Amino acid sequence: MVTESAIGVNWGTISFHKVKPTTVVDLLKDNNIEKVKLFESDPDVLKALMATGIQVMVGIPNEMLSSLSSSTSACDLWVQHNVSRFMGKAGADIRYIAVGNEPFLASYAGQFQNLVFPAMTNLQQSLERANLAGYTKLVVPCNADAYEASLPSQGTFRPELTQIMTQILQFLSSNGSPFVVNIYPFLSLYGNSDFPQDYAFFQGTTHSVTDGSNVYTNAFDGNFDTLVAALNKIGYGQMPIVIGEIGWPTDGAISANVTAARVFNQGLISHVLSNKGTPLRPQVPPMDVYLFSLLDEGAKSTLPGNFERHWGIFSFDGQAKYPLNLGLGNKALKNAKNVDYLPSRWCVANPYHDLTSVTNHLSLACSMADCTTLSYGGSCNELGENENISYAFNSYYQLLQQNEKSCDFDGLGMVTFLDPSVGQCKFLVGVTDKSSSGAQVSDRRLTWVLIVWGLLVSLT
């Protein structure tokens, strides 16, 4: 088995400030990125990807697995509306359909476990009826918690998953599909204070792991080979592996910063593209690696941590956060062009007013907009009190497309034309959404905010 890795990206769209899909596709093309993974089938995104030659993996959310597992007609309809109509001559190059997103995650307590294989079976039949089964392959992105071991060579799938994994692997093998896994050394470091920091990176470690004659100097290789061992134990040791998600966030936690993200991602890319492989698969790196992620997603849930909104190698507006050579022909990232920004103005705390009554306003602003950079370890964590207030006010103001009412805060806010950014702490300017639907969304946001604000006032 000989393979050469290709670097792709995850393109998530859970953002308050969405750049036009055509602008993002131009960003992909300018950076020679030829593989992209989507978490759902967005018509505007798929239309923008048509006739580009970019290979696409389209995701199916876990919440859809129930209907797809129980209804062949639902699968036919999904394939027709989300795959078939975008393919064909000068169409989108949809190579993979991801059935669920980490559906076997331990924290889901088996909620989706028995839905995945029936959904795959039904979808495969739908692809066959649409004459796409020979081209578009089904995969199941799994979290690395699907397998476990104290040493890589002892890797096994979790006991409750052995049967379903055997079924899925047989399916994948018979249809020429790879096994897709998401590996996050950052989360190992973030969730375990005893985890050796240098083992998370690729620059060498004083905490290597010895497994028989094999020595592991980074968490990625150790995790990857734990999966290889688990696959081998149920007869699929040669199964091609794709890394569906891997990356490092730049904000929102102590170990999440631009320097660490650059060192990790560049180390990963260099390691994978060297074709060195791992101890259990020498000279056989993963067939594809999808960086997580392309853009920051400021509207994502922060339940895993405040860093969850800051995984992008580009900021929300397609501007590179740090130098990175993707190994795709450019020595550095190229920024997005022709981004439609709102006017260069910001909302800040009014220095001429007493701010002692600001608490409810702050609660409102940060419950609606993204204030995660203000958290401990964040890039804006060391701002003074007034600057903290200004950051929250501005995030809210930009969220509401700079609506004049959204910088009032009972007279505590004011608009400025001087950029209030401080050092690494950037006060954003939003992007425009000129579509009528975007305008309607902004109107609905403002209406909802006024309702929330009325409730807050009534409680004080």
DSSP state of 59: E
Q: How many CB atoms lie within 10 A of CB 234?
A: 16
Rounded-to-integer distance, Cα 269 and Cα 79, Å? 33
* C-alpha distances out from residue 268 to 65, 187, 191, 219, 255, Å: 33, 16, 21, 11, 17
The DSSP letter of residue 154 is G
Single-letter amino acid code for the residue at 200: A
Q: Which residues contact 98 (CB under 8 A, 6 or more apart)?
A: 37, 57, 58, 59, 60, 139, 140, 141, 180, 244
How far apart (Å, rounded) are the C-alpha atoms in residues 239 and 166? 12
Question: In the 8-state DSSP scheme, what is residue 20?
Answer: P
Catalytic residue among 34, 40, 63, 102: 102
The angle at the Cα of 136, spanning 133 to 139, to the nearest 5 degrees, equals 105
Q: Is residue 252 left, alpha or beta, with left meaning phi > 0 and alpha meaning psi from -120 to 50?
A: left
| CA–CA dist 117, 181 (Å, integer) | 17
Beta bridge partners of 279: none
Is residue 182 within 8 Å of residue 245, measured between CB atoms? yes
C-alpha dist (Å) from residue 110 to 62, 142, 165, 298: 12, 13, 13, 29
Q: Which DSSP string corresponds to 223-245?
A: HHHHHHHHHHHTT-TT--EEEEE
Helix (H, G, I), strand (E, B) or coil at 433: coil
For residues 164 and 180, give the distance between their C-alpha atoms in angstroms, rounded to a whole number: 15
Give yes or no: 102 in active site.
Answer: yes
Distance CA 361, CA 392 (A): 9
Distance between CA atoms of residues 60 and 127, nearest Å: 14
User: 245, 297, 308, 387: which one is catalytic?
Assistant: 245
Tell me the helix, strand and coil percentages in the chain, rounded to 5.
40, 15, 45
The residues annotated as belonging to the active site are 102, 245
